[in-house]
Amino acid sequence: MGYICDFCGDQPSLVYCRSDAACLCLSCDRNVHSANALSKRHSRTLLCERCNSQPAFVRCAEEKVALCQNCDWMGHDASTSNSTHKRQTINSYSGCPSSGELSSIWSFFSQPDSAGESACEQELGLMSISENIESTSWDPTVNTISHNSAVVVEVNDDCNVDKGSGWTRTSIPEHRPAPQLLDQPAGSTYTSLPKFCPQTKYPGLSEDDLYDDFNIDEVDLNLENYEELFGVTLNHSEELLENGGIDSLFGTKDMSAADSTCQGAVAAEGSSIGLVNAIQPACSNAASADSVMSNKTDSILYFMTKHAHSSLSFSGLTGESSAGDYQDCGASSMLLMGEPPWCPPCTESSIPSATRSDAVMRYKEKKKTRKFEKRVRYASRKARADVRKRVKGRFVKAGDAYDYDPLNQTRSC
DNA sequence: ACGACTGCATCTACCACAGATCTTT
DNA sequence: AAAAAGATCTGTGGTAGATGCAGTC
């Protein structure tokens, strides 16, 4: 803090509004963003307390400061003793939260509510929260799912939040996630800050509920299918990835959910980053640093495809949507328009080129593997093929002589 | 340096047939 | 327009053969 609010020019700025590209004090934040329904949807987060110019996305528990990605990287570089500092992701929010509500979002947050009762304080339930990213949050005025949300989770009554409109977590990709992936030592961890309910990070939502929505069988997740559907976008994303855009896209977020062991997390990622954050710690421990990048890129692709799917499935915004439609909705906007303007221009040089090459190599290798991975579409046909008799590998007519019987592994001739 | 040969890995075509899909009546 | 019948297409797994590549002589 220490910088002056862009709006009143009087109070020290505290939060950063990406949509307005403005640093605001808490009072002005509420005043400005209570003006209309659109402004209420602006996604805000804390201002980086180091550079005072970028939105913070993590908070260092040791130093007790909120940091943007740049400052986090610089301050917690693996070569420094600070690299083991425990950091927590900072969620963005929208709506018009009171300082009390902010305190409930950010447990570390305490700010005297000097602004008094604002008009929008009566609409507490309108506030929505997303994790660590610019959120395209639930539109409080329209009872529909926001266009980039695969899953919107409503908070239950136990959470001291107004029922009905609810605080919502939206499933949005993390653009510039925590730099945990490549350089971060094992001891450095990120945890999700908001504590809506003490008993669970996702109140009112059971794991079953989540996975019902994330039923992988429900949609064909085969990458090629999505490439057919969203070829341009995916091609672009692959370009980004192969040209080092991996880092540009997702920073060094630990997408370390190994495919085999953390499939659920990967699957959930596209639909709810929040869920991933919840699952992530367990997965992170299991995954080696070497596997992290490849897993991450797969996850990225997964997200892209899933995300695209979500956009088509759940919203009025479909393939016809313009890039502007995605301007404030996460990865999609990046896919369409490249790196978002708020991203600190440091990623290309901050990752060693050898590491990048390794990562790209692993990505290509895994992509190759996945591309040719056989996927049985008709189990009934597989079942028949599994029991069908053959001659030199070829199916034979029923009753004909065979040299291979899959059932008893015998040969008739 | 160049061609022939070997060994290994990868890719592709083939088969029958139930069920899905399309076309015709 | 709706239904039924018929024709055509699709996909399934193990194997052999084709192909490509690297190494050796």
List the domains of chain A with CATH numbers: 15-109 (4.10.830)
A104-155 pLDDT, tens per residue? 767 676 654 444 334 333 433 344 444 343 333 333 333 333 333 333 333 3
* Segment A197-231, tens digit of pLDDT: 333 333 333 333 333 333 333 333 333 333 333 33
A313 CB below 7 A from strand B atoms: no
Q: How far is the CA of A130 from the C1' of C9 (A)?
A: 47
Q: Which residues lie below 8 Å from residue A160, measured CB to CB, with a gap of 6+?
A: A104
CA distance A25 to A28: 5
Nearest nucleotide, CA A377 to C1': C11
Q: How far is the CA of A296 from the C1' of C16 (A)?
A: 39
pLDDT of residue A398: 82
Quick one: A232 exposed, middle or buried, by C-beta within 10 A (0-12, 13-18, 19+)?
exposed
Q: Residue closest to C16, CA→C1'?
A: A392
Q: Assess whether A404 (CB) lies less than 7 A from strand C.
A: yes
Give the distance, in angstroms, between residue A378 CA and nucleotide C18 C1': 29
| Average pLDDT of the residues of chain A | 50
Q: Is the CB of A373 under 7 A from strand C?
A: no
What share of chain A in percent tops pLDDT 70?
A: 29
Strand B: which nucleotides have any atom within 7 A of a protein Cβ? 11, 13-19
Average confidence (pLDDT) over A258-286: 33
Enumerate residues 6+ apart whose C-beta is below 8 A from A176. A57, A69, A250, A251, A253, A343, A344
Tell me the pLDDT band of A366, cut-offs 50, 70 and 90. Answer: low
Q: Enumerate the β-bridge partners of residue A226.
A: none
The SS3 assignment for A387 reads helix
**What would the pLDDT profile of A16-67 be if each residue is shown by its tens digit?**
877 777 778 887 787 777 766 667 777 788 888 887 777 787 788 777 888 8
Residue A378 CA and nucleotide B21 C1' are separated, in Å, by 15
The per-residue pLDDT for A371 is 45
In chain A, positions 344-373 with C-beta closer than 7 Å to nucleic chain B are 372
Nucleotide nearest to A382 (CA to C1'): C12
Q: Would you say residue A6 has pLDDT above 60?
A: yes
> Is pLDDT larger for residue A395 or for residue A175?
A395
Span CA (A402) to C1' (C11), Å: 22
A382 touches strand B (CB under 7 A): no
Q: Please tell me whether any atom of strand B lies within 7 Å of the Cβ of A390.
A: yes
Residues A310-330 as b or e (16 or more Cβ within 10 Å = b): bbeebbebeeebeeebbebbb
How far is A85 from A244, CA to CA, in rounded Å?
27
Nucleotide in closest CA–C1' contact with A395:
B15
* pLDDT score recorded for residue A355: 58
- The whole-number Å distance from A156's CA to B8's C1' is 61
Q: What is the DSSP letter of A4?
A: B
Nucleotides of C strand lying within 7 Å of any protein CB atom:
11-16
